[in-house]
Amino acid sequence: MTAPGKGRTPEPAPPTTLFLFGAHGDLVKRLLMPALYNLSRDGLLGEGLRIVGVDHNPISDADFALKLENFIRNEAASKVGNGQDSLDPQLWAALAKGISYVRGDFLDEQTYRDLAAKIAANGTANAVFYLATAPRFFTEVVTRLGAAGLLEESAEGFRRVVIEKPFGSDLQTAEALNACLLKVMTEKQIYRIDHYLGKETVQNILVSRFSNSLFEAFWNNHYIDHVQITAAETVGVETRGSFYEHTGALRDMVPNHLFQLLAMVAMEPPAAFGADAVRGEKAKVVGAIRPWSVEQARANSVRGQYAAGKRDGQPLAGYREEPNVAPDSTTETFVALKVMIDNWRWVGVPFYLRTGKRMSVRDTEIVICFKPAPYAQFRDTEVDELQPTYLRIQIQPNEGMWFDLLAKRPGPELEMANIELGFAYKDFFTMQPSTGYETLIYDCLTGDQTLFQRADNIENGWRAVQPFLDAWKQDASVQAYAAGTDGPAAGDELLARDGRVWHRLG
């Protein structure tokens, strides 16, 4: 993330060999290559970028490049180009010139000798190893990269490793993975990706909060009653049944994406927009989440699972009928949680988090709910009660920020109405097609770790989530909700018992 306000044009990334482990996987085809194309469209890649696919299937360099090209043209066209044309033939040809492939088993040392040879042939010592693989390969690949000497940096070049999520499956496995990475490289070389941080609207939370002094005036427990963070999806588990069965909504979304949103909203102002300052503040606030006991975790969480339902009159299958899902599965596809942050700014302000698949609409939003104004002045008027007011930050799909405030309805009576002051991204900015990975890849190539997770940030997240996992080990029951709805009734009760309601989605 280029620090705001400097008005400088970003420099193209330095010459680098970018190894994509898991080159035949979905992530490379759907997101990473389209993002690299968009970076080259924007002049941010420079001449010296070499992209090397690494995977076990044999394929020639030319066929690998062609396969990527065909995929992007047919399947990812809406994410690339300039909105009218997808792939510009000249631009693609220039990028494709730098694409090659190494066939190799991730567990075989010969593969790593082949990678060393590639680096030597490419004429730059800079290398990034992007692990777009199944998580079981993370430690295997990193240990072998270390043993082969490929992670040793020198004055001639940097060596960096990008790790995708899931980063561990609980606190213990996340700590073990961090320990393994830090045995063979330093924290400065590790780029733990959370794609939510690539979203413009997520980056904007930080910039808007800290560039408009208005926000700081009310951003605390004097004026804020509670905060709601929702990531509602309409998609089901699709083809990922076997992954999702042992992951579930909590691990898949909470310690990573939802806690990133929570950290952006709740962190203290960093001293600068640099990686150390920003990540330090984020780690502090996530570390301040109150560690629930197992009983408290059970009382403050709801697990749901979608059953068969309907959207727009079309039937939707239940989770247990999805491919590679057990017919008696108790994996949660919906979770709602209440967490408390024990610091001066937030003490007493609950943060309610929820996420689910097959909900009524796609909507990722943060709702900052303000405390009600004192009612005294309205006692002798027609106004029976003051409706809650709030600030809604919509991350997707309709990106923007809206204040929902109260105003007087015109007329002789004193009647109140809710009105909206808003900003929609599309009304102010022209957004180029993108995948959300552009900034993250560029930042990794240029050595800016601000938008990547540091070890303590990840571990603090798992520490806050661990009591829920422990509670559910003892009682793994799930509440059914019909696909196409907003989760089980217990999700509403979690707020109702505190006298609150979820903001209506959509």
Nearest to ligand BG6 of 165, 463 (CB atom): 165
In whole angstroms, the minimum distance from the beta carbon of 245 to ligand BG6 comes to 13
Strand partners, 21: 54, 131
Q: State how far the alpha carbon of 212 is from the alpha carbons of 43, 208, 219, 244, in Å.
A: 31, 6, 12, 40
Active site (annotated) includes residue 56? no
Bridge-based pairing state of the strands 390-396 and 363-370: antiparallel
Nearest to ligand BG6 of 69, 399 (CB atom): 399
Largest CA distance in the chain: 84
CA–CA gap between residue 403 and residue 423 (Å, rounded): 9
225 Cβ partners below 8 Å, 6+ apart? 349, 369, 370, 371, 372, 388, 500
Site for ligand BG6 in 160-219 (CB under 6 A): 165
Nearest to ligand BG6 of 16, 133 (CB atom): 133
Comparing every residue's Cβ against ligand BG6, the nearest one is 252
Nearest to ligand BG6 of 280, 436 (CB atom): 436
Is 233 a binding residue for ligand BG6 by CB under 6 A? The answer is yes
**CB-count exposure of residue 10 (10 Å: 0-12, 13-18, 19+):** middle
E strand or H helix at 336 = strand 334-340
487 Cβ partners below 8 Å, 6+ apart? 302, 304, 334, 336, 354, 356, 359, 481
In whole angstroms, the minimum distance from the beta carbon of 388 to ligand BG6 comes to 26
In whole angstroms, the minimum distance from the beta carbon of 79 to ligand BG6 comes to 12
In whole angstroms, the minimum distance from the beta carbon of 398 to ligand BG6 comes to 14
Among 311, 298, 339, residue whose Cα is nearest residue 490: 298
317 Cβ partners below 8 Å, 6+ apart? 236, 308, 483
In whole angstroms, the minimum distance from the beta carbon of 364 to ligand BG6 comes to 6
Is 434 a binding residue for ligand BG6 by CB under 6 A? The answer is no
Nearest to ligand BG6 of 69, 252 (CB atom): 252
Q: Give yes or no for a contact between 13 and 446, defined as CB atoms under 8 angstroms apart.
A: yes
Site for ligand BG6 in 112-171 (CB under 6 A): 165
Is 16 a binding residue for ligand BG6 by CB under 6 A? The answer is no
In whole angstroms, the minimum distance from the beta carbon of 192 to ligand BG6 comes to 13
**b/e map of 472-482 (b: 16 or more CB within 10 Å)?**
beeeeebbbbb
Nearest to ligand BG6 of 96, 483 (CB atom): 483
Total residue count of the chain as it appears in this document: 506
Nearest to ligand BG6 of 41, 257 (CB atom): 257
Q: Give yes or no for a contact between 50 and 100, defined as CB atoms under 8 angstroms apart.
A: yes
CA–CA gap between residue 479 and residue 333 (Å, rounded): 10
How many residues in the shown chain lie near ligand BG6 by CB under 6 A?
5
CA–CA gap between residue 191 and residue 18 (Å, rounded): 13
In whole angstroms, the minimum distance from the beta carbon of 367 to ligand BG6 comes to 17
Given 24, 195, 226, 257, the catalytic residue:
257
In whole angstroms, the minimum distance from the beta carbon of 46 to ligand BG6 comes to 28
CA–CA gap between residue 273 and residue 132 (Å, rounded): 28
CA–CA gap between residue 361 and residue 250 (Å, rounded): 19
Site for ligand BG6 in 352-371 (CB under 6 A): 364
Nearest to ligand BG6 of 260, 301 (CB atom): 260
- By rule CB under 6 A, what string of x and - marks binding of each residue 247-276 to ligand BG6? -----x------------------------
Q: What amino acid positions are annotated as catalytic residues?
A: 257
Residues that bind ligand BG6 (CB under 6 A): 165, 231, 233, 252, 364
